[in-house]
A and B are shown apart, each in its own frame.
Chain A
Amino acid sequence: MKYITLLCSMGMSTSLLVNKMKDAAKQSGEEVTIKAMAKDSFASYDGQTDVILLGPQIRHMYDDLKNKYEAQNIKVAVIDNMDYGMMNGKKVLEFALNL
């Protein structure tokens, strides 16, 4: 089981993408738990995560999050603009799993 957490400003637009990613995971039979969250809530989130994906609109936070979480073995990455815009759940899921 892999845990993926998507962050954006309010957790609104990422939650749209999360639904698409869940659909994609169901189709390919991947065992994943995917969540969307507002960036500010993540600091106090104590659930599990293996991958943090940032919406491109908050990519200015990438360096800080990377420094903070890579030491804990959590992968941090920014979602591709186009995949984000087209809400391409399949590609973003593959991207997250191949990190």
Chain B
Amino acid sequence: MFTSLSDKLQKYLLPIANKIGENRYLQAVKNAFLVSLPFTMFGSLILALANIPYMERILGTDALAAFQNAIIPIQNVTFNLITIMIVLGIGYSLGESYHLNQIYVAICALVGFLIVTPVSELADGGTGYSLNNMGSMSIFTGILIAILCSEIYRIVVQKNMIIRMPDSVPPMVTDSFVSLIPIGFVFIICFAIQLLFAQTSFGTMNSFVYEMIQIPISRLGSSFPAFLLAGALCNLFWFFGLHGNSIVYNSVLSPIFKSLSLENLAAFQAGEALPHIITEEFAFYFGGFNGSFIAYPVLICIFLFFRKKKDWKKLGEVALIPGIFSIYEPIVFGFPLMLNPVMLIPMLLTPMVSSAISYVFMYTGLCPLCTGVSVPWTTPMVLSGVITTNSLMGGIVQIIIIAALTVLWYIFLKIMYKQSEKQEEIKEA
């Protein structure tokens, strides 16, 4: 019965995974966030360095304040310009997937974004864009505009509305003429959008999208029930041996959680109270969207309680080092967790247990919230908890989570152990 059910589920999940994996726009958004990752990570690590607890006692208050001021430019060009990186990344990636000239599509997307974004008068009489409109508040506007501009560019090129050059003209020159008409269309349509929103009470597309789309989606996405559902869904994909994080998280959820992280980061930088419990780092290092939450408890169980079972121990040796760094494919496919009915329950419960424990600790203030500082996803547990919350409590909460999950996994591994013992007895008899 289980096999037929899992066959059926697999029949539905594979095409979904394929659709999401192959969706051009989701792919482009995912690639764009990957491009921005090293920049925001660098910026956030510098910020973490400037805010190490008790640093003022070592450096003195003045020196620390001077250092914190000195790094503000780094914050400005990393997470306060993230929308620029996202827009360029989406344009570049869509340009690549449509086989267009990537750099022109990317710059078109950027220009389109800058057209709809308001400019303000500066004190010295000049005009400037506010950094507020280049950071987390404009991420959704940036995504929409970048996709729109890339599509306009593609449609115009595919309709062949381009200026042709004789073959003897060098390619660089041809490319810049080819892009002329598509760019013109991008300008006209973005100006129209800008004029249209200027007529509304929102004034700009940025504030319309922020209030009407970004905030509602973020609220919904970061609500606790939705978060639990997403975690369970992610591991359901893994149960069928499909890369749940890449399917559920990277392409669909990352814009939502990343923008929440950046809002926390801005508050952290300003020394204000952090607004969100659920952020990208919460998801990765507390909420269970990370192979460690399964690798650590399973490996602990194998090495502490099931050493006698030879095949498990052998798998444990293969899986240990990757497991410490959050790579848990050996456990999924080798143990295997995949399509192993007994293992489905703890797999689905793992993100629920870990996010419930963390949520309680953070909601009650026993553990500080994630500051938005990010680390590479392969960072071992405890270390990731300490850095992302800027507090030892983050590491302690992770240890509590791992202890609770070890109990959970022990119960189900014991069931599996007994089953396999019985099978071996039958074989021997």
Interface residues of A (CB under 8 A from B): 8-10, 12-13, 16, 40, 43-44, 55-61, 63-64, 81-82, 84-87
Contacts and interface: CB of A to CB of B under 8 A. Distances in A.
Contact of A9 (B31, B246, B331, B378): B246
Nearest to B291: A13
B27 A57 contact: no
Contact of A61 (B18, B331, B333, B378): B18
B318 A59 contact: no
A86 B63 CA distance: 53
Interface stretch (B188-196, B200-208, B334-342): B334-342
13 contacts: A9-B243, A9-B246, A16-B327, A55-B329, A57-B238, A57-B241, A59-B241, A60-B21, A84-B334, A85-B318, A85-B336, A86-B314, A87-B330
A86 B242 contact: no
Nearest to A64: B22
List the 6 shortest-distance A-B pairs measured between CB atoms, nearest first.
A85-B334, A85-B333, A13-B329, A57-B243, A60-B17, A81-B333
B324 to A, nearest CB: 13
A12 B21 contact: no
Contact of B329 (A40, A57, A63): A57
Contacts of B15: 60
Interface string B10-41: 00001101100110000100010000000000
Nearest to B332: A85
B175 interface: no
A98 to B, nearest CB: 21
Interface of B: 14-15, 17-18, 21-22, 27, 31, 96, 238, 241-243, 245-246, 314-315, 318, 322, 327, 329-336, 338, 378
B335 A85 contact: yes
Nearest to A81: B333
A12 B333 contact: no
Contact of A40 (B31, B243, B334): B31
Contacts of A58: 21, 242-243, 246
Contact of B331 (A10, A12, A63, A85): A85
Nearest to B247: A60
A7 B322 CA distance: 17
B154 to A, nearest CB: 17
Contacts of A55: 329
A56 B378 contact: no
Most chain A CB atoms below 10 A, which of B238, B242, B314, B378: B242
A82 B314 CA distance: 13
A61 B243 CA distance: 11
Contacts of B245: 9
Given A9-B243, A59-B242, A85 B18 contact: no
B71 to A, nearest CB: 30
A13 B14 contact: no
A87 B165 CA distance: 54
Contacts of A10: 246
A12 B318 contact: no
B223 to A, nearest CB: 27
Given A13-B322, A59-B241, A86-B315, A40 B330 contact: no
